[in-house]
Amino acid sequence: MRLRGRLVVWPIYLDASYPRSLGRRIPLRLALRDVKAEEVYLAASTLGLNPELKADAAYPRMPWRRTGMVLVDKDRPKTRLLRELAETIRSLRRKRRI
């Protein structure tokens, strides 16, 4: 599935529960536990990335787990985008805990 000007973000990319061999794309020190597609959507909207949530999508490597995915505008490199999303989710979780 190739979408011009859009990137696919799976929650597994940011999840510390998974090793890089199963799909995590950011360093373990930046990764979070139990990332949900809704959190990625909220973080992407906070960053102004025009997100679109596909809640019933399954990560291709694990088709039995319907984790959902988020489509975002591509305005920066994907690795940098994923790091920013992880930082934003972390700050949103802190705010929710207070």
Mean pLDDT, the chain, integer? 93
The SS3 call for residue 59 is coil
Is a pLDDT exceeding 90 seen at residue 27? yes
- In one-letter notation, the amino acid at residue 95 is K
CA distances from 30 to 4, 37, 72, 92 (A): 28, 17, 20, 14
- Of all residues in the chain, what percent are helix, strand and coil, respectively (each to 5)? 40, 15, 50
pTM above 0.85, yes or no: yes
pLDDT by residue (tens digit) across 29-75? 999 999 999 999 999 999 999 999 999 999 999 999 999 999 999 99
Residue ranges of the alpha helices (H) in 3-98? 37-46, 78-97
pLDDT at 98: 47
